[in-house]
Homo-oligomer: A and B are copies of this chain.
């Protein structure tokens, strides 16, 4: 048996899929909060790689506090313009010098932000539609970490913190997640009127699922109100169709419900994001690390995006617990729902959490005792391999929002 403090227990209550009311939300890639998450995380990855390239290990940094101040725009059918630019401030700490080697943390951050914005928001021009500024204070030298060195050891927990992960997703969760991904993927490639700021909210009452989608339409691809209505209808149809892949329940899809055509109030943007007109954003206020906001489930308040993946225990445990939950559900039969919670113990190695807590709802006919050992073994193995989380974060393989 492992010497890790792993507990496997039945869940307190019904599986979320069986609860009467379920609420799920996803803020898409171009939403101001997600944009901040994405930039913070992209900056973090770029810094981590730069440290490894230049000094052979990841030094102390945290860039989890990007703040976006909205601009003003004058969208118009056929193409409008940004009037006052968006302002985006990347803040945090970074080690700027190590044993005589200078690390240009601020220009690395700006380049990462440009790259991310160019990829994510093709209609937002870096430097003119959005002014990106950076204030990275100097990190304390004594917090330098040793990830990336030969013979790396397991870091110690720097804080008392906890992470939580769930699996599998409910039907409503999958619809919400996949709808945004598909709309922001192939669908908007084929339908450029569909912008990147897409917010999807799912509400299930019993067997009735309402999916409410807010899509920032891109004005240069919308000629008139008819074109706008067609774009809205297209999204509605697409999401309704997509939902049938994930559920047999009744699904109603609503798109841009705040529009009022009589008053000319429609969700038209020049850049594909509401950040152009009044919607501020910041890191850690949107999706949790599984890509969703799920008030029916335990959530951590921790902002994972932008945190140093070597020693920030809140980030590591949120990502790891989600990974564990998914692996358990994939590999062990008979589980309807699992929740994994990892609680750190300050000053102890991060592969030895204070508690690793698995709560399960099993299929009918399956007892906890039947699968307990299997589940515990997976948790044990994943904890042993905790530093792979760090590698995968740096390589961009794990998403944080």
Q: Contact: A65 with B132, CB < 8 Å?
A: no
B residues in contact with A357, CB < 8 Å: 21
Cα–Cα, bound, A299→B212 (Å): 21
User: Could you say how many copies of this chain the assembly holds?
Assistant: 4
Scan A188-213; emit 1 where CB is below 8 A from any B CB, else 0. Answer: 00000000000001010100000010
A349 at the interface (CB under 8 A from B): no
Cα–Cα, bound, A10→B100 (Å): 58
Distance to closest chain B CB from A137 (angstroms) = 6
- A contact residues vs B (CB 8 Å cutoff): 7, 9, 11-14, 19-21, 23, 62, 64-65, 67, 69-72, 74, 81-85, 87, 89, 91-93, 96, 102, 104, 106-107, 110-111, 114, 126-129, 131-135, 137-140, 160, 162, 164, 201, 203, 205, 212, 257-258, 278, 280-286, 293, 295-296, 298-301, 303, 341, 343, 346-347, 354-355, 357
Q: Report the nearest B residue to A357, measured CB to CB.
A: B21
B residues in contact with A347, CB < 8 Å: 257-258
Q: Contact: A107 with B87, CB < 8 Å?
A: no
Task: A84-B107, A164-B295, A285-B303 are known; give 17 further A-B pairs, CB within 8 A.
Answer: A11-B13, A13-B13, A21-B341, A21-B355, A64-B280, A65-B281, A83-B96, A84-B106, A84-B137, A85-B107, A114-B128, A127-B127, A131-B131, A131-B132, A160-B201, A162-B295, A282-B284
Q: Contact: B127 with A126, CB < 8 Å?
A: yes
Q: Report the nearest B residue to A36, measured CB to CB.
A: B282
Q: Contact: A104 with B91, CB < 8 Å?
A: no
Q: Contact: A107 with B83, CB < 8 Å?
A: yes
Cα–Cα, bound, A132→B87 (Å): 11
A293 in complex: contacting residue of B64, B283, B301, CB < 8 Å: B301
Q: Which 6 A-B pairs have the closest CB atoms?
A: A13-B13, A127-B127, A12-B13, A67-B67, A110-B128, A83-B104
Q: Contact: A106 with B93, CB < 8 Å?
A: no
B residues in contact with A70, CB < 8 Å: 93, 137
A81 in complex: contacting residue of B7, B89, B107, B160, CB < 8 Å: B107
Cα–Cα, bound, A295→B295 (Å): 10
Q: Contact: B104 with A343, CB < 8 Å?
A: no
| Residue from A9, A13, A84, A341 whose CB has the most chain B CB atoms within 10 Å | A84
| A278-B140 CB under 8 A given contacts A67-B89, A106-B84, A164-B295 | yes
Q: Report the nearest B residue to A9, measured CB to CB.
A: B20
| Residue from A13, A128, A132, A298 whose CB has the most chain B CB atoms within 10 Å | A128
Q: Contact: A74 with B89, CB < 8 Å?
A: no
A65 in complex: contacting residue of B23, B67, B93, B343, CB < 8 Å: B67
B residues in contact with A282, CB < 8 Å: 65, 67, 282-284
Cα–Cα, bound, A188→B292 (Å): 40
Show 30 A/B contacts (Cβ-Cβ < 8 Å), sorted by A.
Answer: A7-B21, A13-B13, A21-B341, A21-B343, A21-B355, A21-B357, A65-B281, A69-B137, A71-B137, A81-B107, A83-B107, A84-B137, A85-B110, A85-B134, A111-B128, A126-B127, A127-B127, A127-B132, A137-B278, A160-B201, A160-B257, A162-B295, A203-B354, A257-B346, A258-B347, A282-B284, A293-B301, A295-B300, A295-B341, A299-B301
Q: Contact: B114 with A127, CB < 8 Å?
A: yes
Distance to closest chain B CB from A282 (angstroms) = 5
Q: Contact: A129 with B107, CB < 8 Å?
A: yes
Cα–Cα, bound, A160→B210 (Å): 11
| Residue from A20, A65, A139 whose CB has the most chain B CB atoms within 10 Å | A65
